[in-house]
Amino acid sequence: MKEIIFAGFGGQGVLTGGLLIAELAARTQRNAVWMPAYGPTMRGGKANCVVKFGQTPEERIGSPVMEEADVLVAMNVPALDYLEYCRKDCTIFVNAHTVPADQQLPEQAVVVRLDCAELAQKAENPKGESLVMVGAIVRRLGWFDEDFARSAITDYFTGKGKGKYAAANVRAFDLGCQEVK
Site residues (vs another protein, CB under 8 A): 19, 22-23, 25-27, 29-36, 38-40, 61-67
- Closest CB 68 distance from another protein, rounded Å: 9
- Closest CB 7 distance from another protein, rounded Å: 16
- Closest CB 33 distance from another protein, rounded Å: 5
26 neighbors 54 (Cβ within 8 angstroms): no
Query: Which CB sits closer to another protein, 15 or 116?
Result: 15
Q: Burial level of 125, CB count in 10 A (0-12/13-18/19+)?
A: buried
- Closest CB 43 distance from another protein, rounded Å: 8
Query: Which CB sits closer to another protein, 158 or 178?
Result: 158
For 67, 81, 88, 158, the CA distances from 152, given in Å and listed in that order, are: 28, 31, 31, 10
131 neighbors 17 (Cβ within 8 angstroms): yes
| CB atoms closer than 10 angstroms to residue 121 | 16
Q: Burial level of 149, CB count in 10 A (0-12/13-18/19+)?
A: buried
Query: Which CB sits closer to another protein, 26 or 117?
Result: 26
- Closest CB 26 distance from another protein, rounded Å: 4
Query: Which CB sits closer to another protein, 29 or 178?
Result: 29
Report the candidate in 158, 137, 148 with the shortest Cα–Cα distance to residue 28: 148
Query: Which CB sits closer to another protein, 39 or 142?
Result: 39
